[in-house]
């Protein structure tokens, strides 16, 4: 077990890097997953709205109350610069000013210049707010036209607008009891697995493959197969420990109980991706990169896959060209499977099996390439060793 012990000794020096990645992942993922609860009913889109009431009459206050009953109230400073900043950074989505003379104009049946609004982003929810205001004002005017006095018209319009349409929420994805919270936790996993495995495992494998260490090991009494097995065992212990730790954290903090139903498929999906990340690390190590090059490779692979495969930005928001490219990356298929499991796509067991198999295929191909590279390197090293030995013999 000499090699295994050496492996663990070198790994201990890199464990801090791995721990930082895992702790950051857990610290970010848990609050995010906790915030996104499983949808069991229809929830209307609520905007963050700021109302400044310059009229300050019962009618304007009724409008303010109606808006705040439907949207979230946000108070900000009334200053153009502060408003711009708040709207741009989405502290608030919509600023409404009820102009002076609002109630008088409303009583006279005038609609122009009643309200002034400010918004920066043209989200569709902003258009909805405009429509809500139009609907409210036209309802007040209609009730006034029907003979109601202004206060009665305002009250009736408020009631009419507040009367919610019945919305039935039906989840057709019966196969999936995989909550969005757990889905969110699993969706960021590829980024962290790639980062942890490459940044912690690769330096260990590179150290073991250093010319001095490798030559010394080669000339020792340890059989090559035993050496390979011990390195493999060390790698397996490390990646399994990382994966198990992440799974246990998910069970304790996200789920609150043991995984069940389709959640086990997500666990399987993550296990396969763990194999992919390990195979990737082994492939990179076979090129024995320097520490600087390894750092940049880690960043390129982890961030690259996260941005192009739908980990940081949903696949539905990515361009067709990006997605076509991403199909050649394993994280794309991981995300596809995870999206299906958390109900973003209709559940289809044969499709899911396909996604998992493609992922696994990536791992197999990378392992084969790694073996090929090792074989080629070994074969090319042999004649060099032979020629050196024959030189020495000739000298003697």
Partner 1 sequence: MFLHNLFYELKSSLRAKELIIWLMIFPIILGTFFKIAFGDLYDKQTKMDTIKTAVVGIENDPNFRTVIEQIEQEDEPLLKAEYLDEEKALEKLANGDVTGVIYAGDDMSLTVSDTGIEQSVLRVFIQQYSTKAGIIKETLASDPSKLGEVTKALMADASPNHAEPLTKGNTDFYIEYMYNLIAMVAMYGSITGLHIAVGNQANLSPLGARKCCSPTPKALSTLAGIIGSWLVQAVCMVICVSFTAFVLKTDYGKNLPYVYLAAILGGITGVSMGFFVGSIGRMKNSMKVAICMTGSMLCCFLSGLMMGNIKGWIAMKFPVFNNLNPAALVADSISSLNLYTGHERYFTKLMYMCGISAVFITLGLILTRRRKYADL
Which positions from 325 through 384 interact with partner 1, judged by CB under 8 A?
A: 346
Q: Cβ of 373: how many Cβ atoms within 10 Å?
A: 15
Task: Determine, following the binding rule CB under 8 A, whether residue 72 of this chain makes contact with partner 1.
Answer: no
Among 22, 11, 14, residue whose Cα is nearest residue 234: 11
Helix (H, G, I), strand (E, B) or coil at 259: coil
Of the residues 37, 56, 151, 171, which one makes contact with partner 1 according to CB under 8 A = 171
Residue 10 or 303: which CB sits closer to partner 1? 303
Stretch touching partner 1 by CB under 8 A, among 182-190, 209-217, 251-259, 309-317: 309-317
Residue 109 or 261: which CB sits closer to partner 1? 109
Q: Minimum distance from CB of 123 to partner 1 (Å)? A: 6
Query: Does an H or E element contain 127, and which?
Result: helix 124-145
Task: Determine, following the binding rule CB under 8 A, whether residue 160 of this chain makes contact with partner 1.
Answer: yes
Distance CA 354, CA 360 (A): 10
Give one DSSP letter per residue of 23-64, joined into a string: HHHHHHHHHHHHHSPPP-S------EEEEEESS-SHHHHHHH
Q: Minimum distance from CB of 16 to partner 1 (Å)? A: 10
Q: Minimum distance from CB of 11 to partner 1 (Å)? A: 19
Q: Minimum distance from CB of 141 to partner 1 (Å)? A: 4
Which positions from 182 through 241 interact with partner 1, judged by CB under 8 A?
A: none
Among 297, 319, 296, 294, residue whose Cα is nearest residue 307: 319
| # binding residues, partner 1 (CB under 8 A) | 81
DSSP structure class, residue 296: H
Q: Minimum distance from CB of 43 to partner 1 (Å)? A: 5
Q: Minimum distance from CB of 109 to partner 1 (Å)? A: 8
Which positions from 83 through 142 interact with partner 1, judged by CB under 8 A?
A: 83-91, 96, 109, 111-125, 127-128, 130-135, 137-139, 141-142
Alpha carbon of 174 to those of 177, 213, 347, 351: distances in Å?
Answer: 7, 56, 8, 16
Which positions from 289 through 308 interact with partner 1, judged by CB under 8 A?
A: 292, 295-296, 299-300, 303-304, 306-308
Task: Determine, following the binding rule CB under 8 A, whether residue 35 of this chain makes contact with partner 1.
Answer: no
Distance CA 244, CA 256 (A): 16
Distance CA 381, CA 209 (A): 14
């Amino acid at each position: 077990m000499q090699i295994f012990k050496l492996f663990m000794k070198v790994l201990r020096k890199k464990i801090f890097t791995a721990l930082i990645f895992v702790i950051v992942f857990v610290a970010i993922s848990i609050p995010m997953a906790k915030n996104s609860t499983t949808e069991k009913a229809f929830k209307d889109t609520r905007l963050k709205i700021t109302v400044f009431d310059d009229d300050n009459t019962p009618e304007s206050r009724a409008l303010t109350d109606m808006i705040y009953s439907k949207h979230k109230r946000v108070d900000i400073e009334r200053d153009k610069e502060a408003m711009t900043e708040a709207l741009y950074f989405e502290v608030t989505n919509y600023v409404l000013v009820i102009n002076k003379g609002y109630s008088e104009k409303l009583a006279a049946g005038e609609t122009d210049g009643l309200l002034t609004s400010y918004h920066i982003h043209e989200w569709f929810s902003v258009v909805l707010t405009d429509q809500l205001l139009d609907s409210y004002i036209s309802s007040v005017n209609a009730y006034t036209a029907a003979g109601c006095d202004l206060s009665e018209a305002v009250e009736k319009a408020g009631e009419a607008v507040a009367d919610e349409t019945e919305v039935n929420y039906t989840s057709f994805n019966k196969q999936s009891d995989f909550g969005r919270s757990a889905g969110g936790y699993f969706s960021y996993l590829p980024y962290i697995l790639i980062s942890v495995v490459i940044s912690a495992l690769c330096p260990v494998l590179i150290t073991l493959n250093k010319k001095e260490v490798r030559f010394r090991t080669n000339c020792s009494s340890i059989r090559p197969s035993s050496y390979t097995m011990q390195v493999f065992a060390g790698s397996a212990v490390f990646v399994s420990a990382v994966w198990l730790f992440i799974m246990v954290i998910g069970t304790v903090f996200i789920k609150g109980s043991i995984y069940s139903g389709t959640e086990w498929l997500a666990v399987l999906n993550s296990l396969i991706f763990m194999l992919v990340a390990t195979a990737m690390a082994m492939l990179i190590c076979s090129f024995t990169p320097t520490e600087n090059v390894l750092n940049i490779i880690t960043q390129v692979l982890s961030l690259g896959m996260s941005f192009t495969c739908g980990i940081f930005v949903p696949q539905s928001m990515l361009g067709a060209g990006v997605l076509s490219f991403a199909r050649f990356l394993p994280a794309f298929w991981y995300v596809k499977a995870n999206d299906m499991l958390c109900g973003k796509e209709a559940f289809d067991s044969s499709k899911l099996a396909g996604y998992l198999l493609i992922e696994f295929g990536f791992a197999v191909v990378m392992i084969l390439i790694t073996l090929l590279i090792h074989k080629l390197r070994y074969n090319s090293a042999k004649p060099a060793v032979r020629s050196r030995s024959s030189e020495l013999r000739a000298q003697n």
